[in-house]
Structure 1
Amino acid sequence: KLPPDDRLAVLLGVIFCIPGSRRAAMDDSEEDDRGPDESPKRPLKGQACRHTASKSSNDDEREDGANDGQERPSGSEGSPSKKKSRDNIPEPLSSLHGLVPESPPRFVSLEQIMTTANGVTNMMLAHEIAMDDTFKLTKQEHPEKSLEHTVKKILHQAFWQVLEDQLAENPPNYDQAMQLLQEAKETLLGLLLPHNTSLRAEIMEGLDVALVRQQAEHGTLDFGYYARLLISLMARMCAPVRDASVRDLLKIEGVVPLFRGIMDQLEVMKLDMVNFTIQEARPLIQSHSVAYAREKFRAYLETQALLSPGLDPLVHTRAWLRRSHEELRALSAQYSPDPVLNGRGASGPPFAVVLAKAYIQLLCWDPSWEYPETLSMDRERFTLLGAQVEECALVASVLLVTHSVGGASLQDISDFKEDLRSHTRLLLQGCGKCSEEELTEKLKCAASQAIKEVQESLQKHGFAPLQLSQERMLYDQVVSMASAEHHIRKLLTMRILDFIKLTLSSASVGPTKIPAGLSTLEKELTQIAGTFLRLVTHNRAVFGEVYTDIMAQLRAT
């Protein structure tokens, strides 16, 4: 039985190598990480005929790169040409008196690079599974008019046309048909769990390719029998949601269309099995994701140091933390301008305060800044949270201005407040990602809807309606919020960020007070804060040591 970390590596390697998935499409040529007890899986026949040339060239390059890149023992001799080129290298200046001799050259093999690349990719996959409870692999689909879609369609049509032409020969040529049958058999075997021994034996006996080939050579092959056998096995092994599509295979007429439908359905079943494996293994991955990511990132840094000794692989992470450190230090200097307290060697702001401010910056990120390397896997999540913060600030601003213009008479009408909130949220949905022009159009609709609801509510409860000047004032104030410098929008944005920062920095588990003017969005704010806290907690657990080292260097400068 493998240790938990090794089992996690094996699982990620198996998941990552599944053909047809979005993750597998990122790198079809890479080998998966396997445990000591796992045997390598046989490639699918259809894929083998489509990728043989590229794989052979990659293997040749891998062998050459490994031979060239491996570090030789000090006493070994190279080829005459290489030795001659080394002899022509001038003596380094380190031989002069008083100079430090140069470090010996360091080499990194292609195998090390590929191992590190696989480790980083698996780290990303483990991170997605651990952080997203709904994460699953999906079949890669290209746009209909894209080059990839066209090429794939042409190749598939050619593949099945070859099969049809071979079967139409006299006598029929069953070479490609046997390959397809073998591929279908291996796929079914790959979908079995270890305890499915009887079903495994049934597949091995019923889909004996050697026996089928003998029947074909003697002219007694019944394609219909084996097609029905395959469909019967698939119906027993597929997920319940696939029962109807598997049953529809029996309605397909023609040998080639039927086997094409069977192979397509087997691809879907493989993806279902992978997602089932992810769901079952998620607790294991979550419990070991921090240690696994920390180990893989350390290996990545070591490989980067060998490949590019003069380049800092954490340059953007340092800039991210330095920006927050300098801002807090400048703010401290305003209130305590003592050069002794703020000069070189001063302790500076606390580490936790600097890190909290740096994390909050992710929610209002300047596009001109480079994203930190340690946060690249969560960039999309933090960007989405930042857009949600902007959306909440805009919705709250519209509600605040509307209640202010509508007067105190509407403050206690709960139906009006709830309807206005839901309608405004609907009209401003996605506004956090809009340009200023698009946001202006959304705000115009929100302003018109707010005026309409205020007038209807005032009339319904017997209050005096708004005057034309009040309507115009409400409309103009709402539309002017398209500017990021609008004072109400800016104020509420800062309150939301302060609320999230307080949640992040709070040592107690008690409830945090919702800021003034944002009580109607309590549910949305708590959801944003909870998601943000989960991301930050995981990131700090993985990269906390890295941040501590960087902060120590910043304080020393």
Structure 2
Amino acid sequence: MSDREGPSGSGTQGSDKGENNTRTSAQPMPTAASSYYASEPIQFRVRGSTITGASPPKFVTLEDIMKAAHGMQNMALAHEIAVDQDFKLEPFEPPDNSYQKLVKETMHKAYFDILREQLNSEPPEYKQALVLLEDVKQGLFAILLPRHTRIREMIEEVDVFRAILETLEILKLDLANTLIAMIRPHVQQESVQYERAKFDELLKVSEDGLQYTREWLKRHIDVEGLSLPVTDKNIIRNVTAQTLAKAYLELLEWDTSKNYPETVSLDAPRFAELGTQVFRVGCGAALLLASPACGDHSTAAAHKQTLKDKILILIDNTTNDIELKSVLPSVAEEIILVTEQLLEKLSQSPLTAETKEIIRTQILSLGDPEHRVREIVRQRVLEFLKTILVCGGGSRQIPVGLSALARELTAVSGTLLRYVMHNKAVFTSHYMDIVAEELSRS
């Protein structure tokens, strides 16, 4: 697993970069009409090992490949709606100084310049403008919901065409997001079968669509104590559950030098973000443990909560050890300041210069990822998450030393479990086949 010495990332899926893969998405694919042999489908050979040398080569058509690619795009959209509770459409704005933005602005300006010229001519030309206005108004009314009474009134009063068109775009987006919210429960129910079917279509046209998934799982299969070969389905199922729990945790600390598993590629950014959150929870807990405790039980609890809030704010933008080290001096000074404020409130002696230096040294030492306190906290966090994944949630005791960050740890574990349950529902059969194949070896 990565020790997060550099910026976190989701990893990229490797690919050959030969001459046959130089075409970009912006370049049109050849059609049958442009081929010299228009009556015959274009075919591509799928390389791959066969059991016997006499087996015939496997061929797929260009149509098969394009269907699979299109299916993966639809699968990705369905996956986003099903997994991300906050998914919604956003208005597209081309990047500044881009060709797309230039074209958009030029076309819009030309359109309204022509309209303005007609309206300002002597005599003014209103016929086309009135037709346009009526069409736009009817289009607006067609997509309004019953609750949009104020917008309906506004449309009746608007006399600026640009404002009408902009309002139309806003309402179209609002309607689309409303529909997404309405269909999300249905998508969540159907997306498992849909994603499984689309992925299986992709496997038919790929050389080995599970190559990196297989490598990922094999790193975590534990055969200790087993008498190989194993054929008992219950044992295979149990080994698969333990294997997957460790494999999913690896995604939180992904080593970007490895190829990302195909079956979790859609959620790579999500696992990377969760990994960053786990990193911050661990660092926050370690910093709290290294901070001085003051006062009686009730005062100490309030002090710890204040320190926690301050620390989490200071490390909020850290994603790796390098960034953590850069903010630790500020964290140390904040801890000293909060502690002195508490001592003053309790009418106790302030910290001595020697004590302040000890606090600074302790805090700065936590920049080392192999620091004993950080390593213990990390192991406790990962063991807690592993238990959640294996047992499927339920009531679990927060590990010792992490009670102050129970809310953050619970939020992370809940989100992780949601991603994992969806992924397992789609790909468990493939995972069990891979584990079974490995356990069948003597």
Asked whether the two chains share a fold, i.e. TM above 0.5, the reply is: yes
Counterparts of 1:363 and 1:261, CA distance in 2: 47
- Structure 2 CA distance for partners of 1:426 and 1:410, relative to 1, 3 Å: farther
Counterparts of 1:393 and 1:100, CA distance in 2: 54
Match of 1:11 in 2: none
Alpha-carbon distance, 1:62 to partner: 5.8
Counterparts of 1:357 and 1:500, CA distance in 2: 10
Higher-Rg member (1/2): 1
SS in 2 for 1:414: helix
- Aligned 8 A contact 1:406 1:466 in 2: no
Match of 1:493 in 2: 378
Alpha-carbon distance, 1:491 to partner: 1.5
Deviation per CA, 1:384-406: give whole Å up to 9, x if none: 1111111011111111111xx34
Match of 1:302 in 2: 204
Alpha-carbon distance, 1:288 to partner: 1.2
Deviation per CA, 1:111-153: give whole Å up to 9, x if none: 3333222211111111111111221111122332334323432
Mind listing any 5+ residue stretches in structure 1 that lack a counterpart? 1-54, 72-98, 173-218, 305-310
Match of 2:282 in 1: 393
Match of 2:345 in 1: 460
SS in 2 for 1:397: helix
Deviation per CA, 1:76-100: give whole Å up to 9, x if none: xxxxxxxxxxxxxxxxxxxxxxx96
Match of 2:183 in 1: 281
Alpha-carbon distance, 1:516 to partner: 0.6
- Aligned 8 A contact 1:249 1:262 in 2: no
- Structure 2 CA distance for partners of 1:102 and 1:389, relative to 1, 3 Å: closer
* Letter paired with 1:503: I
Within 5 Å, give how 1:34-73 maps onto structure 2: 61=31, 63-64=33-34, 67-69=39-41
Counterparts of 2:190 and 2:128, CA distance in 1: 51
TM-score (norm 1): 0.64
Alpha-carbon distance, 1:169 to partner: 9.4
Match of 2:129 in 1: 223
Match of 2:211 in 1: 315
SS in 1 for 2:97: coil
Match of 2:140 in 1: 234
* Letter paired with 2:409: L
* Letter paired with 1:490: E
Alpha-carbon distance, 1:101 to partner: 4.7
Asked if 1:350 corresponds to 2:239, the answer is: yes
Mind listing any 5+ residue stretches in structure 2 that lack a counterpart? 1-25, 44-51
- Aligned 8 A contact 2:388 2:413 in 1: yes
Match of 2:419 in 1: 535
Q: Higher helix fraction: Structure 1 or Structure 2?
A: 1
SS in 2 for 1:393: helix
- Aligned 8 A contact 2:212 2:260 in 1: yes
Asked if 1:362 corresponds to 2:268, the answer is: no
Alpha-carbon distance, 1:529 to partner: 0.7
Match of 2:389 among 498, 504, 509: 504
Counterparts of 2:384 and 2:71, CA distance in 1: 37
Alpha-carbon distance, 1:379 to partner: 0.9
Counterparts of 1:361 and 1:545, CA distance in 2: 21
SS in 2 for 1:106: strand
Match of 1:418 in 2: 305
Within 5 Å, give how 1:401-480 maps onto structure 2: 401-402=290-291, 405-406=292-293, 412-431=299-318, 433-434=319-320, 436=322, 438-480=323-365
Counterparts of 1:61 and 1:170, CA distance in 2: 52
Q: How many residues align?
A: 401
Counterparts of 1:506 and 1:229, CA distance in 2: 58
* Letter paired with 2:154: R
Counterparts of 2:259 and 2:79, CA distance in 1: 21
Counterparts of 1:234 and 1:396, CA distance in 2: 54
TM-score (norm 2): 0.79
- Aligned 8 A contact 1:235 1:246 in 2: no
- Structure 2 CA distance for partners of 1:59 and 1:159, relative to 1, 3 Å: farther
Match of 2:86 in 1: 134
- Structure 2 CA distance for partners of 1:355 and 1:225, relative to 1, 3 Å: closer
Counterparts of 2:250 and 2:261, CA distance in 1: 11
Match of 1:247 in 2: 154
Match of 1:267 among 147, 150, 169: 169
Deviation per CA, 1:44-102: give whole Å up to 9, x if none: xxxxxxxxxxx9x969726557854268xxxxxxxxxxxxxxxxxxxxxxxxxxx9656
- Structure 2 CA distance for partners of 1:59 and 1:463, relative to 1, 3 Å: closer
SS in 2 for 1:494: helix
Alpha-carbon distance, 1:232 to partner: 6.8
Within 5 Å, give how 1:65-214 maps onto structure 2: 67-69=39-41, 101=54, 103=56, 106-108=59-61, 110-158=62-110, 160-161=112-113
Alpha-carbon distance, 1:294 to partner: 0.9
Alpha-carbon distance, 1:543 to partner: 0.1
Alpha-carbon distance, 1:487 to partner: 2.0
- Structure 2 CA distance for partners of 1:105 and 1:235, relative to 1, 3 Å: closer
- Aligned 8 A contact 1:440 1:479 in 2: yes
- Structure 2 CA distance for partners of 1:244 and 1:539, relative to 1, 3 Å: same
Post-superposition, which runs of at least 4 consecutive aligned residues in structure 1 deviate over 4 A? 57-60, 62-67, 99-102, 158-172, 239-246, 248-253, 346-349, 407-412
- Aligned 8 A contact 1:321 1:354 in 2: yes
Alpha-carbon distance, 1:313 to partner: 1.4
> What RMSD over aligned residues (CA atoms) do the two structures have, in Å?
3.6
Counterparts of 2:401 and 2:320, CA distance in 1: 24
* Letter paired with 1:550: I
Match of 1:215 in 2: none
Alpha-carbon distance, 1:495 to partner: 0.7
